[in-house]
Structure 1
């Protein structure tokens, strides 16, 4: 197995030494879910590069949104973003630094959809929230002098799953987005992938975490045959250019690879960008892992080019 980046290894060792539990440890009770959310928010504050500005928080949309304006506006594109956290963690202000970085690097306004979290709101509520937030953002693009014909989608982890579904919905309405950025996505609830076994322990996201968050999101729903859960199994033809970023030491690595391959087979301009020495969650490690910061900068540059192509 490839060795982790030295700064990633040091971060993981620090968390191990102080006894940090797995991300979804104890989430079988409401109290455990609340504790996991607090732990996750604290870890992100410890590792992410601080935000350059605060968002405008709007509660009058169909779903709460957080509007991030770039420090320097260089694009009239509009980006709709969905955060990670296994559909369970990461709501509110937790991902503000990540979304603001996306706005600053692309020069575009970013509307971060603060979708409802599981297990209080299970599938398909978070997906519906992202779709509603996207529709609202398109209707209000003029409020930010953005071009609704130049909308891009971005998401990481669970958020990447949700925006992949939103990209399919826009394609079905014959209005595909101009570009999509999916960072370590979980695109398939039905497949079995070797990377879950290979990278399932000691690398931040564990195999047990993958199972736990999936159960919290699904509840009693079956994933079989539902492309809203598994966009990899949808007809992918007609989607806009898509960047799929994976981490080499991530349980989700092989599913991300498979999604990029399926997109390419469907004739989509798909760009697989694998970061061999990084782990799941590197989008939030930009303050302490230079290799993660460089990876994010490169992904954002490529995404910005799609928005203006």
Structure 2
């Protein structure tokens, strides 16, 4: 899988135009078209997201398909609704040890540092191509290089393959940072959803090494597969990520007999002491919301400087909705702003342990 996108067909262009037009209607019109829900915490879903969820609910469910077919559906959807980005100064395809592939992005002539990024998709779906736009948005707005990694997917490569690949990618990033003009001691590890799990586990695995991540950015991460929390039940029917889909992902990813309390499966149950400073972004209408908030709380309890970005009106997967939703775009830009702030001279000061927000 390459990171380049195929050209849209005429039908796909029409579908994109209609989706963008619908989600950008005036707020009063959107409220009439969609029943805007309020969660138990009193947060109201963004109206354009409510309409998008209504349209998604009417479509097919990829978890009714085999992984190969589900991947085709997800790749097509990401291609149709991808945000449009300007040309980048650097977008190079790289081959890492073991045959892993990655893409390095740099928007302009200079860069504040490097973000090692792991995409979402429940360990079964997703690719560099389907995350090309959100990764570019982070690179552009944070002023950094992003190395987007194509880790192996289940069921062909089940647990713990993604974590093995993350260690390989980390080693590659550290080894090559200097030749890209970047400081290997200023590498941010970031991930979305299942990729957030990969990023969190990687930070735990690297604890005590001479070169460790500068910052971890966890975007609505999967951090505990051992139990369910209230948000799992409240949003069990979410079109963005349902209980059925979570079960489908887990069934493909975890071999029979896997200990779900293994910290590589559920990093919330691991040792959180001495980890890099963290930014944790959560969505108000996400079944993973409560475990992500608990992870942030446990990081703080263990003395890890942590910033929580609570996006109350959004759903799981919002960084892929930026072409349709201004609310999603703003939330994604806030993540980029935190990366930029940490990379600035007054950001994370590792020697003193200070994290100034």
Q: Does 1:67 align with 2:108?
A: no
Distance of 1:100 and 1:179 partners within structure 2? 19
Q: CA deviation at 1:216?
A: 0.8
Distance of 1:15 and 1:60 partners within structure 2? 36
Distance of 2:128 and 2:275 partners within structure 1? 30
Distance of 1:119 and 1:53 partners within structure 2? 35
Q: Give the corresponding residue for 2:309.
A: 273
Q: Is the 8 A contact 1:250 1:279 kept in 2?
A: yes
Distance of 1:284 and 1:109 partners within structure 2? 19
Structure number with the bigger relative contact order (C-alpha 8 A, sep ≥ 6) is 1
Q: Give the corresponding residue for 1:47.
A: 81
* Residue in structure 2 matching 1:211, options 223, 247, 260: 247
Q: CA deviation at 1:174?
A: 4.6
Distance of 2:121 and 2:71 partners within structure 1? 9
Q: Give the corresponding residue for 2:53.
A: 12
**More deviation in 283-292 or 221-230?**
221-230
Q: CA deviation at 1:163?
A: 0.7
Q: Is the 8 A contact 1:116 1:126 kept in 2?
A: yes
Instruction: Kindly provide the CA deviation profile for residues 56-115 of structure 1, in whole angstroms up to 9, marking residues without a partner as x.
Output: 11125432111111235241x111000001111112411111211111111111111110
Q: Is the 8 A contact 2:94 2:102 kept in 1?
A: yes
Runs of 4+ more than 3 Å apart: none
Q: CA RMSD in A?
A: 1.6
Consecutive unaligned residues of structure 2, counting only runs of 5 or more, are 1-38, 348-357
Q: CA deviation at 1:170?
A: 2.0
Bigger radius of gyration among the two: 2
* Residue in structure 1 matching 2:61, options 17, 22, 30: 22
SS of 1:276's equivalent in the other structure is strand
Distance of 1:299 and 1:218 partners within structure 2? 30
Q: Give the corresponding residue for 1:29.
A: none
Distance of 1:179 and 1:161 partners within structure 2? 15
Q: Is the 8 A contact 2:225 2:261 kept in 1?
A: no
Q: Does 1:188 align with 2:224?
A: yes
Distance of 1:4 and 1:225 partners within structure 2? 33
> What is the aligned length?
301
Q: Please report the TM-score for the alignment, with normalisation by the length of structure 1.
A: 0.93
SS of 2:236's equivalent in the other structure is coil
Q: Give the corresponding residue for 2:149.
A: 113
Q: Give the corresponding residue for 2:123.
A: 87
Q: Please report the TM-score for the alignment, with normalisation by the length of structure 2.
A: 0.81
Instruction: Kindly provide the CA deviation profile for residues 183-238 of structure 1, in whole angstroms up to 9, marking residues without a partner as x.
Output: 00010111221111101113311011111101111122423431111111111111
SS of 1:15's equivalent in the other structure is helix
Distance of 2:87 and 2:230 partners within structure 1? 41
